Homo-oligomer: A and B are copies of this chain.
Amino acid sequence: MALVLKISGRVFDNEELVLKYAEILNKLPGRIAVVAGGGEVARRYIAVARKGGASNTFQDLLGIYASRLNALLLISLLKDAYAKVPRNMEEFLEAWGRSRIVVTGGFQPGQSTATVAALVAEAVRAAALLNAANIDAVYSDDPRKNPNATRLSELKYDEFERILRSSNLPGGYELIDTWAVSILKRSCITTYIFDGRTPEAIEAVVRGENPGSKITC
Q: Which A residues contact B (CB, under 8 angstroms)? A: 15, 18-19, 22, 41, 45, 47-49, 51-59, 61-62, 65-66, 68-69, 72-73, 75-77, 83-84, 87-90, 93-94, 96-99, 107-111, 115, 118-119, 122-123, 125, 179, 183, 186-187
Contact = CB atoms under 8 A, between A and B. Distances in A.
A contact face: mostly helix, strand, loop, or mixed: helix
A93 B72 CA distance: 13
Contacts of A56: 122, 183, 186-187
Contact of A119 (B47, B108, B122, B187): B108
Contacts of A22: 52
Contact of A108 (B68, B75, B88): B88
B110 A19 contact: no
Contacts of A125: 55
Nearest to A183: B110
Number of copies: 6
Nearest to A98: B98
B57 A119 contact: yes
A75 B61 CA distance: 11
Contact of A48 (B19, B55, B68, B179): B19
Contacts of A45: 69, 73
B72 A89 contact: no
Contact of A107 (B19, B84, B108): B108
18 contacts: A15-B47, A19-B52, A41-B41, A45-B69, A49-B77, A54-B77, A55-B76, A55-B125, A57-B123, A62-B76, A65-B68, A65-B69, A69-B69, A83-B94, A84-B90, A87-B90, A97-B98, A110-B118
B122 A55 contact: yes
Nearest to A123: B57
B66 A69 contact: yes
A175 B172 CA distance: 28
Contacts of A48: 15, 18-19, 73
Given A49-B77, A57-B119, 19 more contacts: A15-B47, A18-B48, A19-B52, A45-B69, A52-B77, A56-B187, A61-B89, A62-B76, A65-B68, A83-B96, A84-B94, A87-B88, A98-B98, A107-B108, A108-B119, A109-B123, A110-B118, A110-B122, A111-B111
